[in-house]
Amino acid sequence: MNWSYISGFFDADGSIQLNRIHRNQLPSPVMTFHNNERVILELIKAFIYDELNVNGTIVTKKKEGYADQFELRYSYFSKFKAIVGELVIHHPRKLKRIEFIQKYQGLSKRNGKYSNQELETIALLLKQWE
């Protein structure tokens, strides 16, 4: 396992979303790796933990009539930033989303206390998320 493999895997079977992890907070970035072979995701998870001391979560997605699908998730800015810093990504949409999240992170405060003007600025930016 190495960063080149993980970069290619993410380009092909990864995604970046903004999700509300807690109801009363602004959305946080979530980086996911998808596969129907759990063992591959476990190897990626172990490698990232060994290299960066960043822990992810593997969840099972069940759909009737289909084989189980698995998803390795990394949530929050700090995990996202650490992993993205190691990847060489070529997928244009993922590059655009990374750039967006970096801009969004610049507006986000750790303590979650925002003025009305700051919240309006963030809301306008979040409308641009695709």
- Which CATH number goes with the domain that contains 7? 3.10.28.10
Total number of domains constituting the chain: 1
Give the predicted TM-score (pTM) of the model.
0.87
Counting as low any pLDDT under 50, the low residues of the chain are none
pLDDT of residue 10: 96
CA separation for the pair 62, 65 (Å, rounded): 9
pLDDT of residue 130: 63
Residue environment code for 1-32, b if the CB has 16+ CB neighbours within 10 A, otherwise e: eeeeebbebbeebbbbeeeeeeeeebbbbbbb
pLDDT of residue 6: 97
| 13 contact partners, CB below 8 Å, separation of at least 6 | 33, 34, 35
CA separation for the pair 32, 12 (Å, rounded): 11
pLDDT of residue 74: 96
How many of the other CB atoms lie within 10 Å of CB of 62? 8
Domain holding 120, by residue range, is: 3-126
